[in-house]
């Protein structure tokens, strides 16, 4: 198994095939695969489908570290009784004829990535829901593929996201005698193509709407998904990787350090989470009379509930209600040229030597 970062590939076990075909179908064994993996989505915006999705998501010890003997009664007795109906209503508000935006754009990213990598099979998997990562690995193995790179759609590493995908891959290897030559992309918080994608989205928006005047109180908020502070104290590198992204983005845009306003969103439960909270930040800016607020979410490569409903609806309302005007959510991922280029940059590094 190999861990891949944006800077290097670190071998953890020998490549025993050394360029030769692995057992199984010769063509499939020679042709590598990249699995683009995102978090997942309910298959329909209904309470029953949302309940199934939340049960799997919130049962992951990487996401909720409380011991199951303590957490399970709360999950089953409170959370899954109360939240599914409200969350389903939120999903219904962003659902498209093609289904969940996250699934729609993830599939499109996979399609476009495949065009960039004609010698590689590109598959899309989800950590929770379908198609599950384990099932996708099963299908690749059955058709003879033996070289697989897992590319998380998480630019910043966290044990709650990337490590959970790695757990699934490791569990698959433990269950199977004939394993993969497996490479895992760790993260790419400051990768050139990724930072360029973020900067290009903002620059394109500024060409249409005018560049913000920071001296006049305009603001650009960079919002990341939060994690519990306890995880941060325990050594999760997520916060530092988020800050690395912001610093690289400021440099790419020619802005002074500290010009962009960093905030964290999507807090769940009573524990203390990384802050400042995005909704508190936009409310404060609105109350200050901010006439122009641009907000971008670098941690989300595909639009989803957290960007379309939480940011573009709830945070917009909070900002306007507090007295602000000119709220602009700036999408950057999905099937944009920049997002696909960022993924292609990582995929090419991951399959280096295989193609």
In the CATH hierarchy, which fold is given to the domain comprising 192-329? Rossmann fold (3.40.50)
pLDDT of residue 29: 52
Separation of alpha carbons 38 and 288, rounded Å: 37
Domain-by-domain residue ranges, the chain? 33-188+338-351, 192-329
Q: Is 33-188+338-351's fold the same as 192-329's?
A: yes
pLDDT of residue 269: 78
Q: Say whether 65 counts as a known binding-site residue.
A: no
Q: Which residues pair with 265 in a beta bridge?
A: 225
Q: Say whether 130 counts as a known binding-site residue.
A: no
Q: Give 327's DSSP letter.
A: E
| Ranges in the chain, pLDDT < 50 | 2-28
pLDDT of residue 270: 83
Separation of alpha carbons 163 and 56, rounded Å: 16
The class level of CATH for 33-188+338-351 reads alpha beta
DSSP string of 16-54, one letter each residue: TTTTSPPSS-HHHHHS-EEEEEEEE--SSSSHHHHHHHH
226-255 pLDDT, tens digit each: 999 999 999 999 999 999 999 999 999 999
pTM of the prediction? 0.90
58-82 pLDDT, tens digit each: 999 999 999 999 999 999 999 999 9
DSSP string of 231-291, one letter each residue: HHHTT--HHHHHHHHHHHHHHHHTPPTT-SEEEEE---SSS-BSSSBHHHHHHHHHHTT-S
pLDDT of residue 49: 98
């Amino acid at each position: 198994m190999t861990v891949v970062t944006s800077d290097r590939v670190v071998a953890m076990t020998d490549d025993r095939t050394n360029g030769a075909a692995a057992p199984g179908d010769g063509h499939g064994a020679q042709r590598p695969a990249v699995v683009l993996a995102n978090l997942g989505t309910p298959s329909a915006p209904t309470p029953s489908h949302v309940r199934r999705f939340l049960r799997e998501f919130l049962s992951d010890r990487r996401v909720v570290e409380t011991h199951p003997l303590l957490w399970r009664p709360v999950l089953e007795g409170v959370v899954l009784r109360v939240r599914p109906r409200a969350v389903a209503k939120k999903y219904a508000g962003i659902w498209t004829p093609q289904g969940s935006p996250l699934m729609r754009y993830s599939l499109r990213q996979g399609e476009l990535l495949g065009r960039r990598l004609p010698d590689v099979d590109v598959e899309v998997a989800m950590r929770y829901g379908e198609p599950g990562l384990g099932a996708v690995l099963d299908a690749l193995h059955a058709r003879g593929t033996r070289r697989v790179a897992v590319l998380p759609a998480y630019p910043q590493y966290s044990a709650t996201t990337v490590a959970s995908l790695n757990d699934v891959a490791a569990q698959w290897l433990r269950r199977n005698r004939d394993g993969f030559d497996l490479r895992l992309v760790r993260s790419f918080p400051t990768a050139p193509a990724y930072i360029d994608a973020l900067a290009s989205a903002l620059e394109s928006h500024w060409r249409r709407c005018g560049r913000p005047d920071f001296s006049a109180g305009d603001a650009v908020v960079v919002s990341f998904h939060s994690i519990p502070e306890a995880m941060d104290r325990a050594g999760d590198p997520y916060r530092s990787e988020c800050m690395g992204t912001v610093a690289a983005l400021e440099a790419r845009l020619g802005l002074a350090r500290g010009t962009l306003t960093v905030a964290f969103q999507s807090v769940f439960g009573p524990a203390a989470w990384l802050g400042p909270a995005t909704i508190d930040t936009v409310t404060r800016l609105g109350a200050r009379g901010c006439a122009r607020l641009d907000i971008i979410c670098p941690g989300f490569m595909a639009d989803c509930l957290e960007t379309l409903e939480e940011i573009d609806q709830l945070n917009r309302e909070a900002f306007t209600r507090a007295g602000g005007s000119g709220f602009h959510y700036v999408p950057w991922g999905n099937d944009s040229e920049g997002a696909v280029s960022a993924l292609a940059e990582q995929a090419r590094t991951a399959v280096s030597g295989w193609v």
